[in-house]
Amino acid sequence: MAPVQTMDAVRWGWYLPRDGALHGPALDAHLMLNLWIALGLLVLAHIVLLVGLMVRRRRAQMPVVVLECLPLLVLTVLFAWLAGRSEHLWAAQRYVGAAPAAMQVEVTGEQFAWYFRYPGVDAAFGRTKLQLVSAAEGNPLGIDPGDAKGKDDVVTSQLVLPAGREVDLTLRALDVIHGFSAPEMRLKQNAVPGQTSHIHFTPTVPGEYAILCTQVCGMGHYRMQATLRVLPAAEFDAWLKGLEAAKLANEVQR
Ligand SMILES: [Cu+2]
């Protein structure tokens, strides 16, 4: 379990949204490193220009390797190192799999809403069928009633997660490409029709955060938003158990 923080303990600057995920500080530090290097290069370029203007008469006598090859080599190595570092941070949420104990949640984008599915007490998602998709009939994801694994699946319009526990999100889309984005969790990943994508993270700070769509997915794109609620573990357990019990009671009545 990752340490749970309070909002008061979280520091954030004016330039970035507050940071509520375990991997966030490393990404923010990398961003700041990029900005400081860019600032350093800007200052250096001006110094080189100024010195070049002042000693321009002697410049032609300087070896080409000093004037052009050396800066090019230094910049190539620097940018390759930065690219490798950022790729490593990016892949940590995607290509490196989540821990086996991570909580599974499925996120589905549809014009113009997000749906979140929890696998229920059996910890397994039920089968879905596209022809069964019907938000009007209370089955926006097309969960197949013939699959026992889907009986206890819970679908919500709000993503609720426990603080301090790793979460593995499976992203799907029903129609067009949507962009799942939770800025305070430093998450952004496309949801693509016909594909499943994974992204995992650990929310650490209880609170309410925005979920946005970052792909222009149609006329209603601007209102494709949802809320992420991060709760202390005990509160989350009570919330999920309440939903699962209601779902199972509903199934028994049918
Ligand atoms: Cu969208």
Task: Report the pLDDT value the prediction gives residue 174, as an integer from 0 to 100.
Answer: 94
State the pTM of this model.
0.83
Distance of CA 180 from the midpoint of ligand 1 (Å):
8
CATH topology of domain 103-253: Immunoglobulin-like (2.60.40)
Burial of 137 (0-12, 13-18, 19+ CB in 10 A): exposed
Residues 72/183, Cβ–Cβ less than 8 Å? no
Domain range list for the chain: 24-92, 103-253
Distance of CA 115 from the midpoint of ligand 1 (Å):
12
SS3 at position 78: helix
**Strand order from edge to edge, sheet including 197-201:** 154-156, 113-118, 103-110, 167-173, 197-201
Distance of CA 229 from the midpoint of ligand 1 (Å):
20
**Which tens digit of pLDDT belongs to each residue from 8-59?**
545 556 678 888 999 999 999 999 999 999 999 999 889 988 887 887 666 5
Picking from 17, 57, 59, the residue whose alpha carbon sits closest to that of residue 182 is 17
**Which tens digit of pLDDT belongs to each residue from 56-101?**
666 556 666 666 788 888 889 999 999 999 999 999 989 988 899 9
**Which tens digit of pLDDT belongs to each residue from 199-250?**
999 999 999 999 999 999 999 999 999 999 999 999 999 999 888 888 777 7
Pairing state between β 197-201 and 207-213: unpaired
Distance of CA 212 from the midpoint of ligand 1 (Å):
8
